[in-house]
Structure 1
Amino acid sequence: MSALLPVINHLIQQNREAQAALSAFAGKTLALHAAGVQITGTFNEQGFLECARNAADTEIRFNAGAVQKVLQGQTPGVGDVSVSGDTGLGVALLPLIGSLRYHANDDLSRLFGDAAAGGISVRAEKAGHTAKQIGLSILEQLGDFAKEPEAPVVDKHTLSAWSHEVDTLRDDTARFEARLAKLEERNKV
């Protein structure tokens, strides 16, 4: 899917050390499979991926468990990733691909300036932390509830209603954070 190449190249650009290392693989073609998406590209001399005109030299495939682990901040295990084709090339590329990190502050600074980017980043981090704490608390409560000997089996309707309430709480928290941010802005003036 060549439409995702600019996204991957943006990540590569934000990670200069990985970009320099990837430039050593100029002319090699990689097929990357993750979360139902396939990206195939050939590395150029600058370490960026270009549309591939030939078959992949190596394929790296992340199974669904690997994607979930990454989203949860965990490191995928050996069984979560498979490499085919030129396995030596795949094994060499895997840590470089895995080291790519998105740095939102870079983009926010470019769009809004350094001062605004810092404020946006802090508020977003606080909101994310709050949402994560709420989620962990709910999971903990569910775990405690399930341990009760008289715990009823929840039907689909009850679970759906509860899920809707959790979504509403999350949305309310996000709106609250936005209002706080606006109030902070007004107080600065």
Structure 2
Amino acid sequence: MLARILNRMLSHDAAAAAALAKYPGRVVRLVLPVLSGTLTIQPDGTFDRATGPAEATITLSPTFFTTWLFDRDAASKKAGLNGDTELAAAVGQVLAGLRWDMAEELSQLVGDVAAHRITWLAGKIGGVPGAIGSRLLIELTEYWRDEAPLVVTKRHVDDFCGGVDTLRDDLARLEARLERLSIKSL
């Protein structure tokens, strides 16, 4: 499904497909909040499902998308690149430049005039409230992380795991000591 969506967008952007065509046969994994997939880059610059292991992985968290609405440079720093980072960065750059032309897609279903009016109305309805909603989501995430800690930070998880490891080691030493004492008392 992910390959079909991306190929649909690539069909409207010959430059992006040409940029991907430089990496035929390479395998990348895209991990998005809703779906993910391992894809092979085809010689024509499209994607196909891959069965083998990925050479590179691009992970985009939900905060990536909310940040992307306001600051694309800051959002690019939130993208996780693993494996062959050069390949992941190149594919990520191509995918970042893709644009979905909603009016073009709708025009095939309802005609040009209706598609234009629908996209105009969607922009009016979703523009300001969508921006306010995404900013509110960012603020709530920061509040829950910093002020009223409902969201756990990496430091807290590391501290907890370290405490569990210390407790496990202490318990193992105590059990060994009790065993030695029980042997001496016999």
TM range (shorter): 0.5 to 0.7
Q: Conserved in 1, the CA contact under 8 Å of 2:2 and 2:35? A: no
Letter of the aligned partner of 2:2 in structure 1? L
Cα distance in 2, alignment partners of residues 60 and 27 from structure 1: 17
Q: What are the equivalent positions in structure 2 for 1:88-107 lying under 5 Å apart?
A: 88-107=86-105
* Deviation, structure 1 residue 56: 0.7
Q: Among residues 10, 13, 21, which one is paired with 2:11 in the alignment?
A: 13
Q: Conserved in 2, the CA contact under 8 Å of 1:41 and 1:49? A: yes
Moved over 6 A (4+): none
User: Where does residue 29 of structure 1 map in the other structure?
Assistant: 27
Deviates more, 1:124-133 or 1:106-115: 124-133
Cα distance in 1, alignment partners of residues 130 and 87 from structure 2: 38
* Deviation, structure 1 residue 12: 1.7
- Matched position secondary structure for 1:126: helix
- Matched position secondary structure for 1:110: helix
User: Where does residue 72 of structure 2 map in the other structure?
Assistant: 75
Q: Conserved in 2, the CA contact under 8 Å of 1:34 and 1:67? A: no
Measured against aligned partners, the alpha-carbon deviations of 1:69-124 in whole angstroms (never above 9, x if no partner) come to 13x34315354122111112112222111111111011011112222222222222
Cα distance in 2, alignment partners of residues 128 and 64 from structure 1: 18
Q: Conserved in 2, the CA contact under 8 Å of 1:69 and 1:76? A: no
User: Where does residue 43 of structure 2 map in the other structure?
Assistant: 45
Q: Conserved in 2, the CA contact under 8 Å of 1:42 and 1:49? A: yes
Measured against aligned partners, the alpha-carbon deviations of 1:18-77 in whole angstroms (never above 9, x if no partner) come to 11211111101110112153221001112111010211111111233212213x343153
Q: Conserved in 2, the CA contact under 8 Å of 1:29 and 1:52? A: yes
Deviates more, 1:121-130 or 1:96-105: 121-130
Aligned residues: 133
Gaps of 5+ in 1: 140-189
C-alpha change, 1:66 and 1:76, in structure 2 (3 Å) is farther
C-alpha change, 1:126 and 1:50, in structure 2 (3 Å) is same
TM-score (norm 2): 0.63
Gaps of 5+ in 2: 137-186
Letter of the aligned partner of 1:6 in structure 2? R
Cα distance in 2, alignment partners of residues 104 and 30 from structure 1: 26
TM-score (norm 1): 0.62
Cα distance in 1, alignment partners of residues 123 and 65 from structure 2: 22
User: Where does residue 111 of structure 2 map in the other structure?
Assistant: 113
Question: How much identity, in percent, do the aligned residues show?
Answer: 25
